[in-house]
Amino acid sequence: MIGLWQAAVLGVVEGLTEFLPVSSTGHLKIVEGLLGLDVGDDSIVGFTAVIQMGAIAAVLLYFARDIARLATAWVRGLVSRERRTDPDYSFAWWIVWATIPVVVIGLLAKPLIDGPLASLWVVAASLFAGSAFMWVADRVGSHTRPESDITLTDSVVVGTAQVLALSFPGFSRSGATISTGLLRGLDRVAATRLSFFLSIPALTGAGLYELKEAVGGGVGIGPVAVGTVVSFVVAYATIACLLRYVARHSFDVFVYYRLGVAVLLMGLLVTGAVAA
């Protein structure tokens, strides 16, 4: 059972880490372990998925104008052939196509993802692997293509990268998508904004899918509500800060932070301070 104060702590962790390329799932599992919660319990897994809805609500609010523009273009394109030349109509469909791989893998591999791959040892290894991927992508990518240059291929390739984070907690969904965008030549702001747009259907679907398990599995409505609201407030502030940061800086600070967390986690596991 999760208490209200524990839910609030996890809400802060979710809001801070969902969109930063540091792995929200990895951090949540680490903090859950430190709080004495069973990271493999179905209700705990469901709770962490549901409070992502707060972070998604923050994205919806922050990008409300962009989303309204895309949704309007999509609806108009459905009813009018002439409107289908609108780039926003195409981009809206690209987000849909880009989400299909993570949905399919998520449903097919759920027992494995929620079982053996939920180990904190996997989180530690994924933090290392994701850090290396991000470091290479930030240096190899040309950073020359703005958001207006994003194509269907870019969207699908970047969207498919979400499977890495889904399968290996600790890799980071935002880290995987942003890094893949950089490898496609996108600039940091374009890659980050694409990552935000792709997060909306992926995380909303995951949250709705796990809602029954979280509320009906012993967590209760109160903690779920607290965790979700806190994650919303913290995530909104985090989004604004991240977009300002990536416009002027590399992702090195996140790479070094991830490596530090990985080393710390391995130390806690080796000493038995937290259970895998």
Distance CA 144, CA 149 (A): 10
* 263 or 43, greater pLDDT: 263
113 CB contacts (<8 Å, ≥6 apart)?
Answer: 106, 166, 167
Q: Which letter does DSSP use for residue 116 in this model?
A: G
Answer whether residue 100 is part of any domain.
yes
| Interval 117-171: pLDDT, tens | 778 899 899 999 999 999 999 999 999 999 999 999 999 999 999 999 888 888 9
**Does residue 95 sit within a domain?**
yes
Side-chain half-sphere exposure of 249, counting CA atoms within 13 A: 11
Query: Can you tell me the distance from the alpha carbon of 232 to that of 56, in angstroms, rounded to the nearest whole number?
Result: 8
In a domain, 56, yes or no: yes
This prediction's pTM = 0.88
Structural domain that includes position 16:
4-271
pLDDT in tens, 34-86: 898 887 777 888 888 889 889 989 999 999 999 999 999 999 999 998 889 99
Q: What is the rounded end-to-end Cα distance, in angstroms, of the chain?
A: 19
The total number of structural domains that make up the chain: 1
What is the distance between the alpha carbons of residues 63 and 86, in angstroms, rounded to a whole number? 19
Residue 142 domain-assigned? yes
Confirm whether 276 is domain-assigned: no
Asked, for residue 259, whether it belongs to a domain, the answer is yes
